[in-house]
Structure 1
Amino acid sequence: MKSAVETLNPTRVRLTVEVPFEELKDSLDAAYKKINQQVTVKGFRKGKIPARVIDQRFGRGAVLEEAVNDALPKFYTEAVNEAEVNPLGQPEVDITELKDGELLAFTAEVDIRPTIEIPDYSGIEVTVDAVEVTDEDVEKSVEQLRERFASTSPVERAAQDGDVVTIDLEAKVDGEVLPDGVASDVSYTIGSGELLDGIDEAVKGLEAGGEATFTSQLKGGSAEGKDAEVTVKVTTVAARELPELDDEFAQLASEFDTLDELKADSRKRLENMKQFDQATQAQERVLDELLKLVEVPMPEKLLEDEINTRKHNLEHHQLGQMGLDLAKYLEIQGKTEEEFLAETKEQAEKGIKTQFILDELVNKEKLDVSREELTEHLFRRAASSGMSPDQFAQAVAQQGQVPMLVGEVARGKALAVVVEAAKVVDTNGEVVDLSDDEDEVETAAEAVEAVTGEAEVSEDK
């Protein structure tokens, strides 16, 4: 086999391949065997039809087509390895010559990973939010915990803000009760904003047995988006009672004996959360600065595929689960389709560029992924997917996605290297030291994943 490579642009090559016909022998034998199992010829047992009979009855061209389809992937892979290129996605193959008994010639155009030069990144500087927990933050946290331990008791008075009411609802559009417009014994906290617009005003002031009618635009169901006449009847009114903020509450709501201990723990948890947010912010901003330093030629076909993938996933997965289509989503977002496509393209370019740069850094810094790091990442991904670690690991193995997980961890390690080399200060001018962050690689991997989204630049050979 002879092959040559022609660079069409920094991200695309054309391979020209010539294969002597004798190298097709194994594929020809396999083609005759396959056709033998698929056809019947009178006078011959199935699978025992001579090659010359198959040529006569079904045509030599059919055999050659089957053989070439079988052989092309092998010859293409050999040409890729010989040319030492890293292809992205599937090639566009064109058979330029096929002479029976003499020669097979074809070309294959394919996107490739561009050559990237990583400059010195040690001068990167970013500013992040300072870790500050105020007394007000602590009080708010404790108050939220207090809300969770609230109790209710029936009252014989008009409903007011904060009360829990049990209600029956009936919605009409154009005077007709909707088939999905009736609900009974619905529990609702006045002021929570969890039901229809206008319901708070309608039920406030009503006692048990009272009812009111109001107009509201429906947010879902068979008449979504239409104005409906809604009748609400209050069957019970209950007041919410919050426990006293004292040591007894601390013992009820936590493992602590005193309210002061509970507040101290709340402060510590809030500090940890803000430190995590600060680390994530540092990683995101360092990544943005790194992207500005590196020129990356963009493979057009890869970019087009990534844009289509992101658009498809939004339309058929995320929006589908919310009962929305793209037009309704854009209306809610206040965007035109042109603006949406421009944003999707920008996000896709950033995701691909991030992968290229961090993958190059993995090679440059000779970063390896240990079994422990991969296991930790697998556990985190399993938790976010709602699957058990065993279920997630089995699904990953069955779908051949282990290399993808390894790549995610490796890119996280590459970003962590850049973050450690960068200067990070908070808004108070204090230098932030992230070297003690035990989860640095994992949080960096999550930061990378947030940028790359669905993008997973695969190398196919």
Structure 2
Amino acid sequence: MKSAVETLNPTRVRLSIEVPFEELKDSLDAAYKKINQQVTVKGFRKGKIPNRVIDQRFGRGAVLEEAVNDALPKFYTEAVNEGELNVLGQPEVDITELKDGELLSFTAEVDIRPEIEIPDYSGIEVEVDAVTVSDEDVDKAVEELRGRFASTNPVERAAEDGDVVTLDLEAKVEGEILEDGVAEGVSYTIGSGELLEGIDEAVKGLEAGGEATFTSELKGGSAEGKPAEVTVKVSAVAARELPALDDDFAQLASEFDTLEELRADSRKRLENMKQYDQATQAQERVLEELLKLAEVPIPEKLLEDEINTRKHNLEHHQLGQMGIDLPKYLEIQGKTEDEFTAETKEQAEKGIKTQFILDELVNKEKLNVNQEELTEHLMRRAASSGMSPDQFAQAVVEGGQVPMLVGEVARGKALAAVVEAATVKDTNGEVVDLSDEEEDETTESAETVEAASEDVAEEKTEA
């Protein structure tokens, strides 16, 4: 077999392949055997029909077609390996010559990963939010904890902000009561904003047994988005009572003996959360700067497929679960379809560029992924998916997704190396030391990369 590679552009090549006919022998034998099992000829046992009879009865052309279809993937793969190409997706194959007993010639056009020159990223500088936890932040955290231990007691008075009321609701659209517009015994905390717009104003001031009618746009159900006349009846009013903010509360709500110790722990937790957010922010901003420095050509077909994948996932998965369609989503977002398409294209380009440049860094720096790093990443992915680690691991293995996870961790390590070389300062002008985050840095970076390149389907990039 002979092959030659012609570069059509930085992301696409044409392979020209010539195969001497004798190298098709195995595929020809397999073709005759396959046809033998599929056809019957009077006077011959199934599977024992001579090749010359198959040629006479069914035509040599049918045999050649079967043999060529069998042989093409093998010779194409050999040519790819010989040319040391990193191909993306499926090739467009064109048979240019087929001479029975002499020669098979064909071309294959296919997208390839572009050659990327890794820029000098040591000069990258980014600014991130400073880690500050105020007394007000601590107060808010303690109050939220206090709220979880609140009790409710029935009261015989008009409902006020913060009260928990039990409601019966009835919604009418154009004078007709909706089949799914009636609800009884609904518990609602006034001021929480968890029900319909306008309901707080309607129920405040009502005692048990009181009712009111107001107009509101429905958030779900058969008449979602339509204005409805809603009648609400209060069947019970209960006041929320918060526990006293003292040492007894600290012992009730935590492992600490004093309120001071509880507040100190809350402050530490908030600091840790903000440090984590700061590290993530640093990774995202360093990645943005890295992408600006690198020249990364993108295969048109890969970009088109990626845009279509993102649109499909949004329409048929995310929006489907929310019970809305794309036009409604665009209305809510205040975007036109052209703006949505442009935004999706930008996100797809960023995702592909992120993968390409970080994969190049992985190869250049010879970064490897050990079992511990892979396991930690798998555990986090399992937690975010709502599955147990065992269930998630089984799904990953059965779906052939292990290489995908390895790739995510490897890219995370590449990004972590870039962040380490960059200068990160906070809004106070202080250099941020991310070494305290080192233990989780690879996994956090993997999550940052995953978010940036979300939905870039690796199963479409085949070597």
What residue in structure 2 maps to residue 47 of structure 1? 47
Give the TM-score taking structure 2 as reference length.
Answer: 0.97
In 2, distance between residues paired with 1:3 and 1:118? 30
Alignment of 1:436-447 (within 5 A): 436-437=436-437, 438-447=439-448
Q: Decide whether the 8 Å contact of 1:165 with 1:236 is kept in 2.
A: yes
Identify the range of structure 1 (58-67 vs 285-294) with the bigger mean alpha-carbon deviation.
Answer: 58-67
CA shift for structure 1 position 456 = 4.0
What residue in structure 2 maps to residue 145 of structure 1? 145
- What letter corresponds to residue 454 of structure 1 in structure 2? D
CA shift for structure 1 position 61 = 2.2
Alignment of 1:20-419 (within 5 A): 20-419=20-419
CA shift for structure 1 position 80 = 0.4
- Deviation string 1:119-176 (CA, Å, 9 cap, x unpaired) is 2211111111111000000000000001111111111111111111111111111222
CA shift for structure 1 position 38 = 2.6
Give aligned pairs, total: 461
The alignment partner of 2:159 has SS state of coil
In 2, distance between residues paired with 1:13 and 1:133? 56
Identify the range of structure 1 (260-269 vs 301-310) with the bigger mean alpha-carbon deviation.
Answer: 301-310
- What letter corresponds to residue 448 of structure 1 in structure 2? V
- Deviation string 1:299-350 (CA, Å, 9 cap, x unpaired) is 1111111111111111111111111111111111111111111111111111
- What letter corresponds to residue 165 of structure 1 in structure 2? V
Structure 1: gaps of 5 or more residues:
none
What residue in structure 1 maps to residue 6 of structure 2? 6
What residue in structure 2 maps to residue 448 of structure 1? 449
The alignment partner of 2:120 has SS state of coil
CA shift for structure 1 position 459 = 4.0
The alignment partner of 1:123 has SS state of coil
In 2, distance between residues paired with 1:384 and 1:339? 30
Q: Decide whether the 8 Å contact of 1:213 with 1:229 is kept in 2.
A: yes
- What letter corresponds to residue 354 of structure 1 in structure 2? T
- Deviation string 1:191-231 (CA, Å, 9 cap, x unpaired) is 11111111111111211122222111111111111111111
The alignment partner of 2:455 has SS state of coil
The alignment partner of 1:435 has SS state of helix
1:460 corresponds to which of 442, 449, 462: 462
Q: Decide whether the 8 Å contact of 1:207 with 1:237 is kept in 2.
A: yes
In 2, distance between residues paired with 1:281 and 1:179? 48
CA shift for structure 1 position 256 = 0.6
Q: Decide whether the 8 Å contact of 1:404 with 1:456 is kept in 2.
A: no
CA shift for structure 1 position 100 = 2.0
- What letter corresponds to residue 121 of structure 1 in structure 2? Y
In 2, distance between residues paired with 1:184 and 1:66? 68
Give identity over the alignment, percent: 85
- What letter corresponds to residue 225 of structure 1 in structure 2? G
Identify the range of structure 1 (429-438 vs 256-265) with the bigger mean alpha-carbon deviation.
Answer: 429-438
Q: Decide whether the 8 Å contact of 1:164 with 1:189 is kept in 2.
A: yes
In 2, distance between residues paired with 1:171 and 1:449? 43
In 1, distance between residues paired with 2:237 and 2:127? 51
The alignment partner of 2:434 has SS state of coil
The alignment partner of 1:48 has SS state of coil
- What letter corresponds to residue 167 of structure 1 in structure 2? L
Q: Decide whether the 8 Å contact of 1:291 with 1:353 is kept in 2.
A: yes
CA shift for structure 1 position 40 = 3.1
CA shift for structure 1 position 380 = 0.9
Q: Decide whether the 8 Å contact of 1:86 with 1:112 is kept in 2.
A: yes
In 1, distance between residues paired with 2:224 and 2:40? 60
- What letter corresponds to residue 76 of structure 1 in structure 2? Y
In 1, distance between residues paired with 2:325 and 2:48? 57
In 2, distance between residues paired with 1:455 and 1:209? 56
In 2, distance between residues paired with 1:215 and 1:41? 80
In 2, distance between residues paired with 1:37 and 1:154? 82
Identify the range of structure 1 (156-165 vs 97-106) with the bigger mean alpha-carbon deviation.
Answer: 97-106
The alignment partner of 1:356 has SS state of helix
- What letter corresponds to residue 64 of structure 2 in structure 1? L
In 2, distance between residues paired with 1:71 and 1:198? 70
Identify the range of structure 1 (336-345 vs 131-140) with the bigger mean alpha-carbon deviation.
Answer: 336-345
Structure 2: gaps of 5 or more residues:
none
CA shift for structure 1 position 83 = 1.0
The alignment partner of 2:144 has SS state of helix
The alignment partner of 2:420 has SS state of helix
- What letter corresponds to residue 442 of structure 2 in structure 1? V
- What letter corresponds to residue 341 of structure 2 in structure 1? L
In 1, distance between residues paired with 2:193 and 2:419? 42
- What letter corresponds to residue 147 of structure 1 in structure 2? G
Q: Structure 1 residues 179, 55: closer, same or farther in 2, change over 3 A?
A: farther
Q: Decide whether the 8 Å contact of 1:168 with 1:184 is kept in 2.
A: yes
CA shift for structure 1 position 401 = 1.1
- What letter corresponds to residue 444 of structure 2 in structure 1? T
CA shift for structure 1 position 270 = 0.2
In 2, distance between residues paired with 1:37 and 1:148? 72
Give the TM-score taking structure 1 as reference length.
Answer: 0.97
In 1, distance between residues paired with 2:154 and 2:304? 61
In 2, distance between residues paired with 1:423 and 1:374? 28
Identify the range of structure 1 (385-394 vs 272-281) with the bigger mean alpha-carbon deviation.
Answer: 385-394
Identify the range of structure 1 (94-103 vs 330-339) with the bigger mean alpha-carbon deviation.
Answer: 94-103
- Deviation string 1:25-78 (CA, Å, 9 cap, x unpaired) is 211222222222233333333333332333333332222222211111111000
The alignment partner of 2:297 has SS state of coil
In 2, distance between residues paired with 1:56 and 1:386? 62
